[in-house]
Copies of this chain bind each other. A is one copy, B any other.
């Protein structure tokens, strides 16, 4: 396994075909009519013989766009997020583009590092799947098309957003919960630094209060968007043999953590304690038939994201894209 062969360049192809590099370039970019059939076939043969592929770096340097996008995802552990990423990746691939993947892990410092990397790479666009507010984000906003998916950043109101109406969804879910449960209800929200988590918590509380079933302060916990954190909150919530008829979580990951704790305590789900989540992780139908949740349309997210990115490239103004959601009540 010695040193790798240097990749063949357009120059070598030109020499092999006995033509100028300009002609090779023309053949590659299939400028029909601008090159004689004889030359074309000679070049094509040389390309095939040398197994040549145009060097993308040269193309990128010459042109101004490099056909590469960046996706910064806040948790690749979350199957809902990775589904969105994959849907977008596959659409980008369809059009010959590629996607750089970065995981911010819901950590501002890590996100800064990712964004610096993104900036120096001159990507054609950036998809932020749950962004945190941070300086580099503002730097990018001015110079590269960017889209916020699933979570908006209030300090950058002009960056296009794609998501659902989290507050309404939470309120609707709250109504369904009240209809189903007479007993006490607990709330394990996501981090209130996230606009999405805030909207959801706000929706839940507003509706519970409006229906005269306010949730006591000690029955509300703030978790991170992880199973581990959901578990920890459930431990606190369910200590001293305290029990709830329903535990409402800020997202499905939190709900999984809560589920685990309930299982450990021998609670029967959903009879003794029902668990509610948010997102509808695609795995739920296979592994979490006990979970009630709100289905966020991840495929439509991807389609909208691609469409908005196209508009941004054309220089069109783009407002927020609010997509419909569905309640998933598995009972």
| A contacts, CB < 8 Å to B | 1-7, 51, 53-58, 60-61, 66, 68, 71, 76-77, 79, 82-83, 85-86, 89-90, 93, 96, 98-103, 105, 113-114, 116-117, 119-122, 139, 142-145, 158, 227, 256-257, 259-260, 263, 282-283, 285-289, 312, 315-318
Could you tell me the distance between the alpha carbons of A57 and B100 in the complex, rounded to whole angstroms?
A: 14
Having A1-B315, A58-B61, A68-B121, one finds 19 other A-B pairs with CB under 8 Å, namely A2-B315, A4-B143, A4-B145, A7-B143, A53-B116, A56-B120, A56-B122, A76-B82, A77-B79, A79-B283, A89-B101, A89-B102, A93-B113, A93-B114, A93-B117, A98-B102, A260-B286, A283-B283, A287-B287
The reply to whether B93 and A86 form a contact with Cβ atoms under 8 Å apart is no
Contact A316:B1 (CB < 8 A) given known A55-B122, A283-B283, A288-B287: yes
Separation in Å of the A94 CB from the closest CB of chain B? 9
Could you tell me the distance between the alpha carbons of A85 and B86 in the complex, rounded to whole angstroms?
A: 13
Chain B residues within 8 Å of A89, by CB:
76, 101-103
Separation in Å of the A92 CB from the closest CB of chain B? 10
The reply to whether B61 and A1 form a contact with Cβ atoms under 8 Å apart is no
Chain B residues within 8 Å of A55, by CB:
120, 122
Chain B residues within 8 Å of A317, by CB:
1
The reply to whether A227 and B86 form a contact with Cβ atoms under 8 Å apart is no
Beta-carbon nearest neighbor of A7 in chain B: B143
Chain B residues within 8 Å of A105, by CB:
90
Contact A4:B286 (CB < 8 A) given known A57-B61, A76-B86, A120-B54: no
Contact A263:B287 (CB < 8 A) given known A53-B116, A77-B83, A102-B89: no
Chain B residues within 8 Å of A103, by CB:
86, 89-90, 93
Chain B residues within 8 Å of A318, by CB:
1
Chain B residues within 8 Å of A113, by CB:
93
The reply to whether B53 and A120 form a contact with Cβ atoms under 8 Å apart is yes
Separation in Å of the A61 CB from the closest CB of chain B? 5
Could you tell me the distance between the alpha carbons of A256 and B158 in the complex, rounded to whole angstroms?
A: 43
The reply to whether A5 and B143 form a contact with Cβ atoms under 8 Å apart is yes
Separation in Å of the A229 CB from the closest CB of chain B? 12
Chain B residues within 8 Å of A285, by CB:
260
